[in-house]
Structure 1
Amino acid sequence: MNASPRYAPVLRRLHWLMALLILVVYVAIEQRGLFERGSTARFAMMQSHFWLGLTVFFLVGWRLAFRMRHGAPPVTPALPAWQAGFSKLGHVALYAFFLIMPVLGLATAWTDGKILYLPFTDIALPAPIAPDKELAHQLEDLHGTIGEIFYWVIGLHVLAAVYHHLVRRDDTLRRML
């Protein structure tokens, strides 16, 4: 386990890389409306959203493996039990989001009959799911709803870090810097 007061360097890098990727994923999907349907720019925004989301999916596996190997440094001073419980719940929710959302996005695209190309190629990924417009619509709604909920979860994560740093004055934030 971790004897250092900070997370292992690889975990810190993965945390900030994934934070940046998630920001770009959200920007890409929210700003796609700036571009006309069928335009190259809108296609690029959608492909960015899709492939960066899948990148997050693959990075989270790597991150979880390193987290299991290196552990987490303790918060100093120690958290009250109720705060530690909320912290664990919040982190489980974030990791579930990182895993579930890309799978939902992929399933949505495939059931909608979308052709998914490997980036910068004309190679299409075969869809293992038959197109089903009704299912695609349901999956897209679920994907969008969870995405909206996670604006709040991500916001609470950031606010908790600021609270710990400025109000509680513990080392929660410094462990990840």
Structure 2
Amino acid sequence: MSTIRYAASQRWIHWTVAGLVAAAYALAEFRGWFPRGTPIRSAMMPLHFWAGIIVMLLLLPRLALRARHGVPPVTPPLPRWETMLAAVTHVALYGFLLAQPILGMLILWSEGRGIPVPFTSLAIPPLFAPGAAIEDIAEDAHELLASVFYGVIGLHVLAAVYHRWLRRDDVMQRML
């Protein structure tokens, strides 16, 4: 069975985004392991923000590459329900990759803070005046979506395992 893979640029952007999403989660979740005021802890949230911003900035090229190169066929072909579930999951993943960074920026700007540039005292200034109502909504949405995003990422990984080890098709090999 010969596998038609995604274009090298599509594979590169997929794995880069996956690494950045993992880094963003790790930076947010593990910063409590470090004492307040330490350089490493102080750098973790700015790095978290920038991982998210880079993910968001890569979304448009990612979609353009998908439009240009398409999606390689699966061998053997998937049942219709799996094709539909994959499409819904991918739309959800793309939505999270856009929504989470936007919500993160809204949180900072609603607090009157800029987006910090790691390891400097520089920040991208807020685009609007502070507002507690926006901050509360954005924070709640960011946290809720983060939890849901964990689940969708888990579904994505489980699907890859299912395709590789149970269905034994080439879904996973197309992205390697």
Q: Where on the TM-score scale, by shorter chain, does this alignment land: which range?
A: over 0.9
Note the aligned Cα RMSD (angstroms): 1.4
| Secondary structure, aligned partner of 1:58 | helix
SS of match in other structure, 2:75 = coil
> Could you tell me which residue of structure 1 aligns to residue 146 of structure 2?
147
Partner of 2:65: 66
The letter of the residue matching 2:103 is L
Tell me the distance in 1 between the aligned counterparts of 2:166 and 2:112.
50
* Cα distance per residue 1:70-108 (max 9 Å; x no partner): 101011111111110000000000011101110010011
Q: C-alpha distance in 2, partners of 1:38/1:120?
A: 13
Distance 1:33 1:133 in 2: 25
| Structure 1 residues without counterparts, runs of 5 or longer | none
In the TM superposition, what are the counterparts of 1:95-174 in structure 2 within 5 Å?
95-174=94-173
Distance of 1:5 and 1:41 partners within structure 2: 43
Shift in Å at residue 166 of structure 1? 0.6
Q: Could you tell me the percent identity over the aligned residues?
A: 48
Change (3 A) 1:102 1:133: same
Partner of 2:9: 10
Deviations 1:8-42 (A, max 9, x none): 00001111111111111000000111234444332
- State the match for 1:94 in structure 2: 93
Given the alignment of the two structures, is residue 57 of structure 1 paired with residue 76 of structure 2, yes or no? no
* Length, aligned pairs only: 174
What SS does structure 1 have at the residue aligned with 2:30? helix
The CA distance in 2 between the partners of 1:50 and 1:30, in whole Å, is 13
Counterpart amino acid of 1:33? G
Runs of 5+ consecutive residues of structure 2 not aligned to the other structure: none
- Distance in structure 1 (CA, Å) of the matches to 2:32 and 2:133: 23
